[in-house]
């Protein structure tokens, strides 16, 4: 299960993501990301990943795409910090 909470009234726009980033939830996060970009063009976007407990390979690919498009990815836990460091090194 995945929960995505969007705050579109801020700059940067914030998507708080909680749960497991796998299966259909990867597609759901991508949809939310693209919708936020379309709804608020020109705004910065931050994805908060502090409460993610698992990321499958497709999720890592999506996070890489987000990072390369200028999205700020935030994580405080050791697992997600490690994943984000690996993504940033690519």
- CATH number of the domain that 52 lies in? 3.30.750.24
Listed in sequence order, the residues at least 6 apart from 40 whose beta carbon sits closer than 8 Å to its beta carbon are 8, 13
* pTM for the model: 0.92
Give bridge partners of residue 89 from the DSSP assignment: none
Domains in the chain, number: 1
Strands 72-74 and 45-55 turn out to be: parallel
Give the burial class of 57: count Cβ atoms within 10 A of its Cβ; 0-12 exposed, 13-18 middle, 19 or more buried.
exposed
Find the domain containing 9 and state its range. 2-89
Specify the residue for token string 């299966």.
23
Give bridge partners of residue 5 from the DSSP assignment: 16
pLDDT of residue 14: 96
pLDDT tens string, the chain, 90 residues long: the values are: 999 999 988 889 999 999 999 999 999 999 999 999 998 888 999 999 999 999 999 999 999 999 999 999 999 999 999 999 999 887
Tokens of 30: 């991508």
């Amino acid at each position: 299960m995945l929960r995505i909470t969007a705050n579109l009234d801020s700059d940067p726009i914030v998507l708080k993501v909680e749960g497991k980033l796998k299966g259909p939830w990867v597609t759901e996060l991508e949809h939310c990301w693209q919708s936020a970009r379309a709804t608020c063009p020109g705004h910065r976007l931050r994805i908060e990943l502090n409460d993610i407990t698992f990321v499958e390979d497709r999720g890592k690919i999506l996070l890489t795409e987000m990072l390369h498009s200028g999205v700020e990815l935030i994580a405080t836990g050791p697992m997600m910090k490690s994943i984000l460091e690996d993504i940033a090194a690519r």
